[in-house]
Amino acid sequence: MIDPFGRHISYLRVSVTDRCDFRCMYCMPEHMTFLPKPDVLTLEELERLCMAFVRMGVERLRITGGEPLVRRDVMKLFQGLGRHIGKSNLKEVTLTTNGSQLTRFARDLASAGVRRVNISLDTRDTGIFRTITRWGDLNKVLDGIDAADAAGLAVKINTVALKGVNEDEIADLMLWAHGRGFDHTLIETMPMGEIDGDRVDQYLPLSLVRARLARDFTLEDSPYRTGGPARYVRVKETGGRLGFITPLTHNFCESCNRVRLTCTGTLYMCLGQEDAADLRKPLRASSDDTLLERAIETAIARKPKGHDFIIDRRHPAPALERSMSVTGG
């Protein structure tokens, strides 16, 4: 699949549920309205959709949400998809999770063929963790991280940089992650969805974080890529990799290779634009995939050049109404 700007689309992110057991302050309001259950695709439908993308050239699938591991029987989807790794275009199935359910599922994920997981962790301070996630339990997440490591999964820690919340802890988090042998990636907060607080107050440009880290650490540019938008440095003092995802300070759309599917079968060709294609209708219209594949082709043909996120006092409203938990981060 090649889009109008010549980019090969080889990466699909799939949000299997918009529900979550956390209420992270930058992601959703505490009293969130979720999608109506009947609109949500079954696990069988999600697998069929994913495999249509794989036949059309997708090599990497990332399962996300909401919190993917709170969806009932989600392991069946991992098992179903895992069977195709290496036997089709599909090279890998990965997961983005808040870690809260990993003590239960880490081994099953490894047995299903998952090799890498991204675990979101913005702080290792119990009080700050509670402030950020509202409902989360830090110890459960840390146990989940240990379980993933013990199951042989390659762990990457993702941290959203938040002004006045975790900004003083970023170097410590990096030292901890690298000490455990994990890659660590920092993310800028993006203006998606209504939240209870003020995004301008939360926004911390990673250019600033990087400059601060560079005072104490030697950051060497690295050509390493995982197929995602992060740009990496090697931190000489720790020997670990540190990634920066900078949708605001440095737009990375020129190399975008991905599209995003929601749990209701809506395909977003860009995380930061409203245009979307309904794939549920062609999926349910026939058991043959001809209509579905045509709908996917038409959607890819209108993938936009990029997003235009801005966060400042003149643009206090979210760039998009839908939150990251719907499109899948």
Strand, coil or helix: 186: strand
Q: Judging by DSSP bridges, how do beta strands 231-235 and 241-245 pair with one another?
A: antiparallel
Radius of gyration of the chain (CA): 19
Q: Which stretch binds ligand SAM (CB under 6 A): 23-31, 103-111, 223-231, 298-306?
A: 23-31
H-run or E-run covering 296: helix 290-300
| Contact between 153 and 272 (Cβ < 8 Å) | no
| DSSP designation for 32 | P
CA dihedral 158, 161, 166, 170 (to 10 degrees): 60
Q: Which is nearer to ligand SAM, 41 or 190 (CB)?
A: 190
| Residue 97: CB minimum distance to ligand SAM, A | 5
Among 61, 117, 192, 242, binds ligand SAM (CB under 6 A): 192
Taking CA atoms, 171 is separated from 120, 122, 222, 242, in Å, by: 16, 12, 19, 11
Q: If binding is defined by CB under 6 A, does position 144 make contact with ligand SAM?
A: no
Residue with smaller CB distance to ligand SAM, 125 or 293:
125
Q: Restricting to residues 51-70, name those near ligand SAM by CB under 6 A.
A: 64-65, 67
Number of shown-chain residues binding ligand SAM (CB under 6 A): 20
Tell me which residue of 264, 204, 254, 203 sits closest to 229, measured CA to CA.
Answer: 254
Stretch that binds ligand SAM, among 93-101, 250-258, 284-292, 294-302 (CB under 6 A): 93-101
From candidates 17, 101, 266, 325, binder to ligand SAM by CB under 6 A: 325
Q: Does 17 bind ligand SAM (CB under 6 A)?
A: no
Whichever of 82 and 193 has its CB closer to ligand SAM, that residue is 193
Q: State which residue, 100 or 257, has the beta carbon closest to ligand SAM.
A: 100
Min CB(160)–ligand SAM separation in Å? 5
Q: Is residue 18 involved in binding ligand SAM (CB under 6 A)?
A: no
Q: How many CB atoms lie within 10 A of CB 313?
A: 7
Q: Does 187 bind ligand SAM (CB under 6 A)?
A: yes
Near ligand SAM by CB under 6 A: residue from 82, 229, 272, 329: 329
Q: For residues 204 and 292, which CB has a smaller minimum distance to ligand SAM in the complex?
A: 204
Q: CA 310, 312, 316 angle in degrees (round to 5)?
A: 90
The side-by-side arrangement of strands in the sheet containing 92-97 is: 219-222, 231-235, 241-245, 183-188, 154-161, 116-120, 92-97, 60-64, 11-15, 258-261, 266-268, 276-278
Site residues for ligand SAM per CB under 6 A: 20, 24, 26-27, 64-65, 67, 96-98, 120, 158, 160, 187, 189-190, 192, 324-325, 329
